[in-house]
Amino acid sequence: MLVNPEQEKDLKEALRLAMENNEILKKMRRSLFWNKVFKTVYLVIILGVTFGAYYFVQPYLENVLGTYQSLLGGSEEVKQTGNSLLDISNILSGFGKN
């Protein structure tokens, strides 16, 4: 099969373009790979810092929550004391009526 010079030139140009496209595709794949790697590392760092901060702050949070719970319990006691005082005042007012 004989190829004339114009066809040979077109074939060489097509080969050159195919090689160039192949190099561009390889670079794109490499870029995507490293993009995934860096995103994964970034996510691991963010999660690590988050859990590390929670681990560090957890004792302080438990202390604050314990104080808050005791304050809530104290307010319940104040309510119960207020109810008891109302009962006592009702009893005392009952004695005054006699």
In tens digits, the chain (98 residues) has pLDDT values of: 677 989 999 999 999 999 999 999 999 999 999 999 999 999 999 999 999 998 998 888 888 888 888 877 766 666 666 666 666 666 666 666 55
Q: What is the pLDDT of residue 29?
A: 98
Number of domains in the chain: 1
CA dist 42 and 58 (Å) reads: 24
Cβ contacts of 73-81, under 8 Å, gap ≥ 24? none
Residue 13 lies in a domain: no
Q: What is the pLDDT of residue 85?
A: 63
Query: Is the Cβ–Cβ distance between 16 and 8 less than 8 Å?
Result: no
Residue 7 lies in a domain: no
Residue 5 lies in a domain: no
Q: What is the pLDDT of residue 64?
A: 87
Q: What is the pLDDT of residue 80?
A: 67
CA dist 7 and 14 (Å) reads: 10
Residue 61 lies in a domain: yes
Residue type, 36: K
Residue 24 lies in a domain: yes
Domain assignment of residue 67, given as a range: 18-98
Residue 11 lies in a domain: no
